[in-house]
A and B are shown apart, each in its own frame.
Chain A
Amino acid sequence: MEQRLGNSYRMTINEKKFIEQALVSDLRVDGRRPFDYRRLTIKFGSEDGSSEVQLGQTHVMAFVTSQLVQPYRDRPNEGALSIFIEFSPMADPSFEAGRPGEFAVELGRIIDRGLRESRAVDTESLCVLAGKLVWAIRVDLHILDNGGNLVDAANVAALAALLTFRRPECTVGGEDGQEVIVHPPEVKEPHPLIIHHLPVAISFAFFGNGNIVVIDPSHKEEAVMGGRMTATMNTSGDVCAVQKAGGEGVLHSVVMQCLRIASLKAADITSKIKNAVETYNTERALKKVKRHSSLVAVEVDGPETKLK
């Protein structure tokens, strides 16, 4: 029992009262205004399809891998996209290793819904042999530090990783035309995925019976908030998914206001992701260029150095 008490996050009455009081006068404990987003940094790993996203204190890492599998019966010519979330107890003592908690499942579902049901990733182009072989894309998200608003950070990490991921090129050949050859990346340049649009999740927290709305709640605000809502939107203003699970009810007008703000923020974040991916791609291309190191050794230690 004591172990459990030791692991849960505790908030003092003082903090709760202060956060609520300060929000009444539009102040947030980290000095932001209600509709300020925290600093978002996107970094990439050395391999294609890995990303690391930091949103304030929140830290999420994403890896994308692919595998050839048999397609589902009802969709013989569509590849699969699946999202797995790993909550490390290092990120937050309240996360238990191994067993995904209620929040982990919800988080996975929000991202899954935003990406898959809005058909952001073109799954038909992942088909190799209809009914026989398709590519299954797996996105692994690792929560490294929980500083609040995991949904948005994890979503950005997943997008960034998917944008930089490249699946191996494969050709169909053989006598019966049914043999699949997967070419290693050194032989044939791997293919990037086809991504139609970027659904960006933007979270809001509600306080004081839904009268106070803030964007991108921090860990402490999440502990105090009465309800939350996540809107997944893209740059063209389409609402891809909305998640409002329990908590305080909010007015229709508040939801509409949130969606308007979300579409602005989504455009902002999309451009950030695109810039980061572009820099990564140019760096990647530069790495491919092979430069010969100069073969002429110059003797510099002698006084009678001569350059030929």
Chain B
Amino acid sequence: MGEKPLSSSSSSSSSSLVDQIVVAGDVILDLSNITNQTLKLGPGLRQDGDAISVMKAGRLRFSKPNKYWVESSEKRYVPCVEDTILGIVVDCKPDNFLVDIKGPMLAFLPVLAFEGGTRRNIPKFEIGTLLYLRVVKANSNMNPELSCTDASGKASGFGPLKDGYMFESTTGLSRMLLSSPTCPVLEALGKKLSFEIAVGLNGRVWVNASAPETVILVANAIMNAETLSWAQQRIMVDKLMKRIQ
């Protein structure tokens, strides 16, 4: 996020397009009538002189007091620091694991970035291992760096995911699954079935349950839910539950 100190005169700083669909070229704010205020622009926005214009299609989001960004659903992931993602080990190097995160480049996972990691106890991952990770560095033109620990160095759930099934969807679906309050598809499924789920912000979702039927049902229900409204999601899950009983 780049900070743009602005010094112009007027009162309102909120855009009328907040939570609306915007496309590239839309001007969301005119800086010439905004008071002395700092705006923070997130992905998909840029400053053209006195105008804040949109660079990609999506929904404009606003967070108090001054953050704007465009949220869209993509099949490709642009890494961002502190995102939790699902990655696949592609190659093992002496210092790093190379991990595929659906991004523009492969990400590095340093072999020491594990809880209590030292040179002596480097974990061994087969190629194709699925990992739950955290993005630590995401600079442009550099391979992103990942970690299997939280900020305080504890494992706290990060690491390899055993068994289960992983499917790829879009970043929009992942964000929906992680939103709060819990999205209806997960809530409704969770009431009837017991399963484990790990959602990566890069559009990968891992599901595990004791019976493969449950895994397949949950995975397909989630994949179908992407384009449905909240009410439709509840109806879909209800129908599914009736069918399996």
A-to-B contact residues, CB < 8 Å: 2, 5-6, 10-19, 21-22, 25, 27-31
Closest 6 CB pairs of A and B: A22-B212, A18-B165, A12-B130, A13-B128, A31-B220, A14-B130
Does B215 lie at the interface of the complex (its beta carbon under 8 Å from any beta carbon of A)?
yes
Q: Are A14 and B106 in contact (CB under 8 A)?
A: no
Chain B residues 186-245 with CB under 8 Å of chain A are: 206, 212-213, 215-217, 219-220
Q: Does any Cβ of A come within 8 Å of B115's Cβ?
A: no
Distance, CA A197 to CA B98, complexed state (A)? 52
A269 to chain B, nearest CB (A): 24
Q: Is the pair B106, A13 in contact by a Cβ cutoff of 8 Å?
A: no
Residues of B within 8 A of A5 (CB): 90-91, 98, 100, 106
Known: A5-B90, A5-B91. A14 touches B206 (CB 8 A): yes
Does A16 lie within 8 Å of B212, measured CB to CB? Answer: no
Q: Is the CB of B106 within 8 A of A22?
A: no
A13→B130 CA distance, assembly (Å)? 7
Please name all residues of chain A whose beta carbon is closer than 8 Å to the beta carbon of B126 when the two chains form the complex.
13
B173 contacts A by Cβ under 8 Å: no
State the CA gap A3–B142 with chains docked (Å): 14
- Beyond A2-B105, A15-B166, list 17 extra A-B contacts (CB 8 Å): A2-B106, A5-B100, A10-B88, A11-B128, A13-B128, A13-B129, A14-B161, A18-B164, A21-B212, A22-B212, A27-B216, A29-B165, A29-B167, A30-B216, A30-B220, A31-B217, A31-B220
A33 to chain B, nearest CB (A): 12
* Contact (Cβ within 8 A) B100 A15: no
Cβ-defined partner of B213 (8 Å) among A6, A12, A19, A27: A27
Size category of the binding interface on chain B: 20 to 34
Write the nearest CB–CB distance from B182 to chain A, whole angstroms. Answer: 24
Residues of A within 8 A of B128 (CB): 10-13, 16
A residues within 8 A CB of B206?
14
Residue among B91, B105, B206, B216 with the highest chain A CB neighbour number at 10 A: B216
B163 within 8 A of A: yes
Residue of chain A at shortest CB distance from B126? A13
Using known A-B contacts A13-B130, A16-B128, A17-B163, determine if residue A22 contacts B216 with beta carbons closer than 8 Å.
yes
A54 to chain B, nearest CB (A): 17
Q: Smallest CB–CB gap between B166 and chain A, Å?
A: 5
Q: Could you say which residues of chain A place their CB within 8 Å of the CB of B161? A: 14
Instruction: Check A18–B163 contact: CB distance below 8 A.
Output: yes
Q: Find out whether the CB atom of B166 lies under 8 angstroms from the CB atom of A14.
A: yes
Mask: chain B, 86-99; 1 = CB below 8 Å from A; 0 = not = 00101100000010
Given contact pairs A5-B98, A6-B106, A12-B88, A31 touches B164 in the complex (Cβ within 8 A): no
Interface string of B152-176 (1 = CB under 8 A from A): 0000000001111111000000000
Chain B residues near A2 (CB, 8 Å)?
Answer: 98, 105-106
Nearest CB in chain B to that of A21: its residue: B212
Residues in A whose Cβ lies below 8 Å from that of B91: 5
**Which chain A residue lies CB-closest to B165?**
A18
Shortest beta-carbon distance from A222 to chain B in Å: 15
Q: For A27, what are the chain B residues with a Cβ–Cβ distance below 8 Å?
A: 212-213, 216
**Chain A residues near B167 (CB, 8 Å)?**
29
- A29 / chain B contacts, CB cutoff of 8 Å: 165, 167, 216, 219
Give bound CA distance, A28 to B216, whole Å. 8
Bound-state CA distance A196–B24 (Å) is 52
A294 to chain B: closest CB distance in Å? 40
Contacts of B217 in A (CB 8 A): 31
B165 touches A15 (CB 8 A): yes
**Minimum C-beta distance from B196 to chain A (A):** 12
- What residue of chain A has the Cβ atom nearest to residue B204's Cβ? A12
Residues of chain A within 8 A of B100, CB atoms compared: 5-6, 10
Docked complex: B127-166 residues within 8 A CB-CB of A: 128-130, 161-166
**Complex contacts, A14 vs chain B, CB 8 Å:** 130, 161-166, 206
A6–B104 Cα gap in the complex (Å)? Answer: 8
Interface centre among A6, A13, A19 (most CB of B within 10 A): A13
Bound CA span A21–B216, Å: 12
Q: Once the chains are docked, how many angstroms separate the CA of A19 from the CA of B164?
A: 10
Could you write out 23 A-B pairs with CB less than 8 Å apart? A2-B98, A5-B90, A5-B91, A5-B100, A10-B88, A10-B100, A10-B128, A11-B128, A12-B129, A12-B130, A14-B130, A14-B164, A15-B165, A17-B163, A18-B165, A19-B165, A22-B216, A25-B212, A29-B165, A29-B216, A29-B219, A31-B217, A31-B220
Per the 8 Å Cβ criterion, residues 75-113 of B in contact with A are 88, 90-91, 98, 100, 105-106
With CB as the reference atom, state the residue of chain A lying closest to B213: A27
